[in-house]
Every structure is written in C-alpha cells, then in structure tokens.
Amino acid sequence: MKTILSILMLSVSVQITAQQVIPLYEGEIPNSLSYQMKEVPVYDNGILNGYRKVSKPTLTVFLPAAEFATGAAVIICPGGGYQHESYRPEGTVIAEAFVKRGIAAFVLKYRLPSDSIMKDKSIGPLQDAQQAIKTVRQRAAGWNIDTSRIGIMGFSAGGHLASTAATHFQQSYIPNPEHVSLRPGFLILVYPVISMSDSLTHMGSRNNLLGTAPAPEQIRAFSNELNVTGSTPPTWLIHTGDDTVVPVDNSILFYQALVKKKVPAEMHLMPSGNHGFILRLQPEEWMIPLFDWVKSIR
C-alpha cells in the first residue's frame, strides 16, 4: 500500500504548479558598469540549450505541487567554464527532476565574468549566487520552502561558483541591510572545478574568472579546498576518475578538507564517464541517492 501511495504521489508531483523567470535584482545590479552586453542564446536543434555573454541575471522558478512539497529547495548553477552556461542540460532538466520529488528548484542564470560589464569580474558570479540565496530565503514562505533547507548545486565551473558561495558566505558581496543569512543549507557538486591552483584547475575557468595573470592571493582566495571551515554546509559530491577536463582531485581534496573540519560529506566516485557524464544519462540514473540525501538534510 505504501509503495502504491508513493507512486501516486510521485505521479501527481510531476505537475509543476509554477514556473516563472524573475530578475535576480529588483534595482541596480551591484558591481556593474553602464555597458549592457547583448546576451546570446545558444540553440541545439531549435531548443534553447544555454547562454553566452550573460549580463542580466535571472532565476527560473520550479515549484512542486504544494501538497507534495518537502520544504527543501535547490539553487542550480549550470557549468560552462565561466564562458557560457549550459542552461538546459545542467539547469532546467535537473530542476524538473527535483520537482518530481517534491523539491523546489531555481535555475540561476548568473553573470559571466567580463571586464566590460563589471568593476571586478572575479566577484560578479558570487554576487549573483548570494543574491539567489537571499531571494529564495526571503520569499520562502510564499514558495512553501523551509528557510533552513535551501541548498546550492553546481556543475563544473558552476560547481566552483556553488562551492565559493558555500565557503565565502561570511562576507556579503551584495547589499544586505536585512542581514539575511547567505549560508546555503547544503551543497551539491557535480564534477566541480574547486581549485584555482595551477596543478588542479580548469585553466579556461580560471582565466575567465581571474584573468590570465592572477595574483597569488587571488588564486588562494578562490581555491575553495583551502577555504573550508567547520561552518561549511553538508556536501554531496560526484565525479569520475577519468575526467580529462576537471581532474577528480578537485572533488577529492574538497572532500578531504570537509572531513578534516568534521563537515558531513558524501562522495560518489565513478571509474569512467569523463566530464559531463550526466549529460548522457537520464536524471534518475544518477540522482536517486541525491534525492534521498537532500530529503535527509534538516
């Protein structure tokens, strides 16, 4: 009987009760210059697949039916080397999978680092991640979300952004007079860029975020394996050992840093699949353990 009930609940929760795109900022975008870069949508066989040259950040809202909402929510940061954003395969497809499990999801279209639109391009994406956390937390009641169960998820360079938000939340890079907590309730990382060090980083991501000649202090500040503390949120990681784009040691060193600081962490290492392996799978083929883990976070 319980199994039948679960199937019926899952079937009903597939229906998304709300889906809207909202501007990330109501007024002026912080750290921005007057130049407005023209955003470039990227299509694959006529389907919107991603974006380049993002200068106007947004949140796409996916909400489960209220009667099946678990109270958990995930802000999703697609990857793309800080050069483009894989908005559909690492964003909306994943959001829909969460919604089917009663977990609200928000796809973040964050500004891509550019000296032409930002005073300091290194903090632009982080500002947008912080604003996303703030926005979801402030509107949580209307979206049937528990403010303590708002997490952030990132793929590849989006994983660097998510892990930066999870290790740099003590400092607000956005206007926050209300003192809304910017700490994610949990962190999910999928083949993430973690480090900016020469031996570990994805050099394209580093060059786009920090420039081609970053100062040593910049490299350290954005090497997130070095910024884990006991306050870093519980983390779930997945990576493949044969990743030729982002070395698996990015995840391993971050996991080791979490363990050292006694932060609850779960890591899944797969022997093969290379970078972007989830793009060749249905979400249910790799996300089942993740759904259970998110629901366990209290």
> Tens of pLDDT along 280-289?
999 999 999 9
**Position 7 confidence tier, pLDDT thresholds 50, 70, 90:** very low
CA 265 to chain centre: 17
Whether residue 273 is predicted with pLDDT greater than 90 in this model: the reply is: yes
Rounded Cα distance, 209 and 207, in Å: 6
pLDDT of residue 258: 98
DSSP structure string for 65-90: -GGG--S-EEEEE--STTTEE-TIII
Whether residue 248 is predicted with pLDDT greater than 50 in this model: the reply is: yes
Instruction: Give pLDDT tens digits for 254-263.
Output: 999 999 999 9
pLDDT of residue 35: 79
**Position 208 confidence tier, pLDDT thresholds 50, 70, 90:** very high
Among candidate residues 125, 178, 177, 176, the one with its CA nearest the CA of residue 152 = 125
pLDDT of residue 4: 37
Whether residue 6 is predicted with pLDDT greater than 80 in this model: the reply is: no
Instruction: Cite the DSSP H helix spans in 89-156.
Output: 93-99, 124-138
The domain of 253 spans 2-296
Which residue in the block uniquely carries the two structure tokens 């990743």? Answer: 243
Q: pTM of this prediction?
A: 0.93
pLDDT of residue 12: 42
- Please tell me the total count of domains within the chain: 1
Q: What is the CATH number of the domain that holds 11?
A: 3.40.50.1820
Rounded Cα distance, 91 and 103, in Å: 14
Count of CB atoms situated within 10 Å of the CB of 200: 19
Instruction: Give pLDDT tens digits for 139-164.
Output: 999 999 999 999 999 999 999 999 99
Rounded Cα distance, 289 and 92, in Å: 20
Instruction: Give pLDDT tens digits for 9-35.
Output: 444 444 554 489 999 999 999 999 987
For the segment 54-66, the average pLDDT, to the nearest whole number, is: 96
Instruction: Give pLDDT tens digits for 93-124.
Output: 999 999 999 999 999 999 999 999 999 999 99
